[in-house]
Amino acid sequence: MDTKKIYSHSPQHFLSGCLAALFIAGASCTAPHHRLQDGAWRAELTLAEGKQAPFLFDVRHAATDSAVLTLLNGEERVPLTGIRYAADTVIIPIEAYDAEIQARVSGDSLSGYFIKRYIENDAGVPFRAQRGGAPRFAPPASPATVAIDGTWDVLFVSGERDTVRNVGIFATDNHIVTGSILTNSGDLRFLEGAVTGAGVQLSAFSGLTPYLIELDFTGNDTFEGALYTARGTTAFVGRRNARAALADAYSLTRLKRGFDRLGFKLPGADGQLVSLSDVRYRGKVVIVSVLGTWCPNCLDEAAYLSQWYRENKGRGVEILGLAFERKDDAAYAHAAINRLKAQHGVDYDILFAGKVGGEATANVLPEIDKLAGYPTTFFIDRKGKVAKIHTGFSGPATGLFYEKWKADFNATIDRLMVNG
């Protein structure tokens, strides 16, 4: 279905038309049949090469008639609120990523666009959905007999990642496959899919980047396939390896010769300059998290650090975030940071460090050779020196890798508390 034709010009055009109709009519046109109906929905977003990334969501209305739309990916649940209407159009905000879905409601069907609001006049990604509880992927008549369960070395064979080790982790339950792919900067979060006749299909959408993975087995211990996003396609190959591992996350970001500490001074929310030499941080073990509110793995790390900080700040340890944002606009950045803090209950400071990119990084962190990925976490000892630097974050979708990261994180803090 060509959703572009439905809107005559663009997402902004059809939405503005709805608002104009409301103004002219002087009344609401949010009739019940133009509202989202409760229940299970199956949706698709159009990707490169015309591929469709399916995902599931659930809609529930409270007694006050406010709706909650929950994105479903494996064990992940992402609630979306603030849903509003204009004529026959529903607007579904995705506040965490400054994005939204705009779609026309026609009974049990939706058709529209996924739009990134931070991009001026974003053309959007075509979106459609149908209520009724259909599966993410239709079950095959003859499922593949090779089991994908376990860990795999995954090598992307085009683009900048062609020499980088990645790790695939998968599990199957009644032909339903869940798992993720870990990279040196994070992971593809909660993938969910199904066995096909020749391999596996997986997809995910948690509010920012839709993914589709299609792979076919080329042997009992090998596969080849492609990762599709709205921007393009990346081919990959995989080989089963029970010991599959990423490059050492502590080796990817390093201090330049002659430096042993971070010297940034950035304005806080009150406009006062903040540095690691301030009384709040002096003489304490400090975790400095370099992040972006646009980065899903950074949000995963923030969720963990927020709870950890509440439980451990009494030990004489502090956390400080440095956020590199999509725009070099303090008002925009602080609004995004405040949303992140509210969403995850963060009560440590997060400073706006500039627009994401090499220039801002070099200005704020001239002591490092490069920033290899987001998030990057600096462990600062009691003397103010950088003890370790960890690049990336293996989040909850990565299972045992996430548990290993947590254990290593706590062991590092414990050592610094005793020796640092």
Res 160 pLDDT > 60: no
**What pLDDT, in 10s, does the model give residues 46-105?**
999 999 999 999 999 987 768 999 999 999 999 999 999 999 999 999 999 999 999 999
Res 8 pLDDT > 90: no
The least confident of 159-163, 222-226, 402-406 is 159-163
Contact 300, 402 (CB under 8 A): no
How would residue 358 be classed by pLDDT, with cut points 50, 70 and 90? confident
User: For residues 159 and 367, which has the higher predicted lDDT (pLDDT)?
Assistant: 367
The least confident of 118-127, 150-159, 160-169, 338-347 is 160-169
Instruction: Give the CA distances from residue 288 to residues 202, 227, 258, 285, 415, in Å, rounded to whole numbers and listed in that order.
Output: 34, 32, 20, 10, 17
The least confident of 161-170, 238-247, 267-276, 366-375 is 161-170
The encoded tokens of residue 350 equal 């997060």
Span 142-158, average pLDDT: 93
The pLDDT score that the predictor gives to residue 13 is: 45
How would residue 32 be classed by pLDDT, with cut points 50, 70 and 90? low
Res 394 pLDDT > 70: yes
One-character DSSP codes across 166-189 = EEEEEEEETTEEEEEEEETTEE--
Res 396 pLDDT > 70: yes
| 35 closest CA partner among 104, 82, 98, 99 | 104
Q: 49 Cβ partners below 8 Å, 6+ apart? A: 228, 233
Res 7 pLDDT > 90: no
Res 241 pLDDT > 70: yes
User: For residues 37 and 158, which has the higher predicted lDDT (pLDDT)?
Assistant: 37
Res 169 pLDDT > 80: yes
Contact 69, 62 (CB under 8 A): no
How would residue 414 be classed by pLDDT, with cut points 50, 70 and 90? very high
Q: How far apart are CA 348 and CA 338, in angstroms?
A: 11
The pLDDT score that the predictor gives to residue 341 is: 96
Q: How far apart are CA 405 and CA 213, in angstroms?
A: 26
Res 26 pLDDT > 70: no
The pLDDT score that the predictor gives to residue 60 is: 95
- Strand, helix or coil for residue 89: strand
Pairing of strands 186-187, 285-291: unpaired
Whole-model pTM: value is 0.88
The pLDDT score that the predictor gives to residue 9 is: 38
Contact 285, 379 (CB under 8 A): yes
Q: How far apart are CA 280 and CA 176, in angstroms?
A: 49
- Output the average pLDDT for the chain: 91
The pLDDT score that the predictor gives to residue 28 is: 42
| 378 closest CA partner among 387, 367, 368 | 387
294: buried, middle or exposed (CB in 10 Å: 19+, 13-18, 0-12)? buried
The pLDDT score that the predictor gives to residue 392 is: 95
The pLDDT score that the predictor gives to residue 163 is: 59
Q: How far apart are CA 183 and CA 180, in angstroms?
A: 10
The pLDDT score that the predictor gives to residue 185 is: 87
Q: How far apart are CA 322 and CA 353, in angstroms?
A: 6
Res 24 pLDDT > 80: no
Res 22 pLDDT > 50: no
The pLDDT score that the predictor gives to residue 413 is: 97
Query: To the nearest whole percent, how much of the chain has pLDDT over 70?
Result: 90
Res 284 pLDDT > 70: yes
Contact 393, 301 (CB under 8 A): yes
What count of other Cβ atoms lies within 10 Å of the Cβ of residue 364?
21
Res 420 pLDDT > 70: no
Span 389-395, average pLDDT: 96
Set out the domains of the chain in order of their start, with CATH numbers.
3-131 (2.40.128), 150-240 (2.40.128.120), 266-419 (3.40.30.10)
